[in-house]
Structure 1
């Protein structure tokens, strides 16, 4: 993806204050992009923007992605300021262990779905009409997870939300098939971020956020419909899809669980 001649990419990223979102911001800023950066933590967002190449041209939007009106307002401001958007990345996400039998975990389920699924839809929606009117290719990028391939013990909210992101992006890809917009789903494996720091189980093929961002940007530029990173986790994901339920249950029914919110 080359964008318009003489013009840097215009990239809008949610969840940009840390982890994958911040790594993607650094990657695209290094490539000369102008950025719209969204996150709840305004101070961290401002520090990140100030540290990036071309700091003065980036716009920051301290807001909660579950506030859809505020998110739409940020999208409108970015579109007006830069005359369009080339890449929109819905990177905001939260993860907690959850147990259905615990009544106090129901609000956690709802919060995980609101942030990981609802906010992905709300991130993309304000950009589609504007992107369709632009010359050249555009990208809508959903950040899924290998956790969305099969359900894992004690992670029902997170696994189900990421499976929903995968299916939603697939549906959107079909809706936009005949347009100039490519929908790209990136499914990270274990990436070294604050979200994975407290995991109480082995994390095979752990990848740095910086390396992930470089490889994700390449997949986005190519317009890949679906990419698992790192590639080794892609092989694991294929095997998990093929594993019969009886074998899957025997292998994972006693697996360690993610930390629940009340334990954080």
Structure 2
């Protein structure tokens, strides 16, 4: 929780219908929060909301986060209904392998950036001005990935988008320094979700979505600027960053590639 004594936190989560988003929804609902749940799949959102404590308190918004007007309308509705928001989690994301040499993958590249990066800014934008008028601490949370630490073969779009998330959130953190809003970047490692189950490569230190959500919520409450979960993957990421390019290229040029969209 962010520390509003005697009040439930108001939490707005995109990509909430499954995986990390659904796990965070369950975590915050168990803590007594009121939720705004955003995803494209209305049936899954409704099912999730019905399974949470106090289901009548939560609001469901079935929309595509790339529709910025619809996203802004959902944000306005949530703010009006609950008098503001304390935590906004921009979690919506997609992942496909891409090969730059294939023209059919260029639209996939654009879609990944539209969802993983542009929609994050569109998620945060409607909340910043209202948050600044609130008396308590607020959080804007960007869900990145350890995949943003170094580029991986066949995953140029996804890796680049997650690198952009980290840098974007860093810039936003500086913009909001001195306000009551903390910008938190959470970089998941290997988390057991429907998205990662399609991966065709080993996933060391695999963490359940539920355990991830508990640890992420703690990092968000502290206002951590950047946190890798699980922590072991943070060490791996630092080591990868330190590897000389020649060594990195020799090792990872032979790694299995991420599944492309048309292979799904």
Whether the TM-score (by the shorter chain) exceeds 0.5 is yes
Q: Please state whether the residue corresponding to 2:221 is helix, strand or coil.
A: helix
Could you report, residue by residue, the CA deviation over 1:7-33 in whole angstroms, capped at 9, with x for unpaired residues? 100000000000000000000000000
Q: Please state whether the residue corresponding to 1:197 is helix, strand or coil.
A: helix
1:41 aligns with 2:41: yes
What's the CA shift for 1:64? 0.2
Task: Give distance in 2, aligned partners of 1:68 and 1:211.
Answer: 31
Residue 168 of structure 1: aligned partner: 168
Residue 143 of structure 1: aligned partner: 143
What's the CA shift for 1:6? 1.5
Residue 74 of structure 1: aligned partner: 74
Could you report, residue by residue, the CA deviation over 1:186-230 in whole angstroms, capped at 9, with x for unpaired residues? 000010000001111100000000000000000000000000000
Task: Give distance in 2, aligned partners of 1:184 and 1:117.
Answer: 15
Task: Give distance in 2, aligned partners of 1:38 and 1:198.
Answer: 23
Residue 96 of structure 2: aligned partner: 96
- Contact 2:2 / 2:138 at 8 angstroms: preserved in 1? no
Residue 32 of structure 2: aligned partner: 32
Q: Please state whether the residue corresponding to 2:198 is helix, strand or coil.
A: coil
Task: Give distance in 2, aligned partners of 1:2 and 1:97.
Answer: 37
Alignment TM-score, normalising by the size of structure 1: 0.99
1:67-216 equivalences in 2 (<5 Å):
67-216=67-216
Identify unmatched segments of 5+ residues in structure 2.
none
Alignment TM-score, normalising by the size of structure 2: 0.99
CA-based RMSD = 0.6
Corresponding residue pairs, total: 264
What's the CA shift for 1:2? 4.0
Residue 63 of structure 1: aligned partner: 63
What's the CA shift for 1:5? 2.1
Task: Give distance in 2, aligned partners of 1:167 and 1:2.
Answer: 24
Residue 233 of structure 2: aligned partner: 233
- Contact 1:3 / 1:86 at 8 angstroms: preserved in 2? no
Residue 19 of structure 2: aligned partner: 19
Could you report, residue by residue, the CA deviation over 1:227-260 in whole angstroms, capped at 9, with x for unpaired residues? 0000000000110111110010011001000100
Identify unmatched segments of 5+ residues in structure 1.
none
Task: Give distance in 1, aligned partners of 2:60 and 2:195.
Answer: 22
Could you report, residue by residue, the CA deviation over 1:152-184 in whole angstroms, capped at 9, with x for unpaired residues? 000000000000000000000000001000000
Task: Give distance in 2, aligned partners of 1:256 and 1:183.
Answer: 34
